[in-house]
Copies of this chain bind each other. A is one copy, B any other.
C-alpha cells in the first residue's frame, strides 16, 4: 500500500526544491538501492513488489501498478527507495578535485561522477548552477559512485580564489596536455556544454591545457564528459609510469 501522502512526497522529489526542502531523494531498482545502502546512505522508506524484502516498519509492500504510480521510470523496476541526502563532507584541500562550471546535462554529470569514482577523484565541486546530482536521472546512472564521490555545490569563484593548488582548465588555446605533467594535487575546471568556462572563472585558471586535435579542423569540440575522461586519464597515468 502506498498512502496519498507518500505519493505526494515521492512525486515532489522529482523537483530539486523539494529534494532540498525534505533532504531526500529517490533511487530505483535493486541494484541502485543496494549500492547506495552499501555506501551507508540512510533509507527513509522503501517500496517493493517482493514481500520477502519487507523487513521493517519503513518498508512497504506494493503492487506493480502502485509502484508504477510512484516510479520516475517509464517502466518501474521492482523497488523504489527514498534516501536521506547525506551531510556534505568538509572540503579537502589536497588531492585531485574536479570543479564543474554550470554543467547542465544530467547525462554528462552522471558520466563525470562515475569517472571521478574510477580515477579515484574523491571530490567534485559544482557551481550552484550545475545540475543537481540527486536528479533521478543522475542517481540511476551513477549508482554507488554517487555516494563514493564527495559532491559539493558551492560558489566556485570563491573556492578557486582561496585555493593555493594549481587550477587547470581545458581551453582550445592551452598547453598540449600530452606534453605537460599534471599535478596530483590540483583542481581541474570543466566548463558548460555550450559556453565552456565562464569569463569570471577563466581569470582564475592558472594553467590552460588543451587536448590536441588530430582530425579535421572543423570538428565540434569534444563533449565535456569525454574531455573529462581524457584529462583524468592524463592526470593519473603519470603515477603508473
Contacts of A116 in B (CB 8 A): 215
Choose from B35, B38, B117 the contact partner of A215 (Cβ within 8 Å): B117
Q: Is the CB of B240 within 8 A of A178?
A: yes
Q: Does A201 belong to the interface (CB within 8 Å)?
A: no
The listed residue with most B CB atoms (<10 A of its CB), out of A35, A144, A176, A212, is A212
Contacts of A114 in B (CB 8 A): 219-220, 222-223
Please provide the chain A residues from 12 to 63 with a CB less than 8 Å away from any CB of chain B in the complex.
Answer: 35, 38
Name the CB-closest residue of B to A215: B120
Residues facing B in A211-235 (CB within 8 A) are 211-216, 218-220, 222-223, 225-227, 229-230, 233-234
Asked whether A179 lies within 8 Å of B222 as measured between CB atoms, the reply is no
- With A229-B226, A233-B233: A179-B240 Cβ-Cβ less than 8 Å: yes
A117 adjacent to B219 (CB under 8 Å): yes
Flag A191-224 by CB within 8 Å of B: 1 or 0 each: 0000000000000000000011111101110110
- Whether, in the assembled complex, A107 has its beta carbon less than 8 Å from a beta carbon of chain B, the answer is yes
Name the B residues within 8 Å of A213 (CB-CB). Answer: 118-119
Chain B contacts for A69, CB-based, 8 A: none
Q: Is the CB of A118 within 8 A of B214?
A: yes
A87 to chain B, nearest CB (A): 20
Please, what's the 1-or-0 string for A105-145, where 1 marks a CB less than 8 Å from any CB in chain B? 00100010011111111000000000000000000000111
**Nearest neighbor of A229 in chain B, beta-carbon distance:** B226
9 new A-B contacts, CB < 8 A, other than A117-B216, A119-B215, A179-B240, are A38-B218, A114-B219, A116-B215, A117-B219, A118-B219, A119-B214, A222-B229, A225-B225, A233-B233
Q: 18 A-B pairs, CB-CB below 8 angstroms?
A: A38-B218, A114-B220, A116-B215, A119-B214, A119-B215, A144-B216, A144-B220, A145-B220, A148-B215, A148-B219, A176-B240, A178-B237, A178-B241, A212-B236, A227-B229, A230-B233, A233-B233, A233-B234
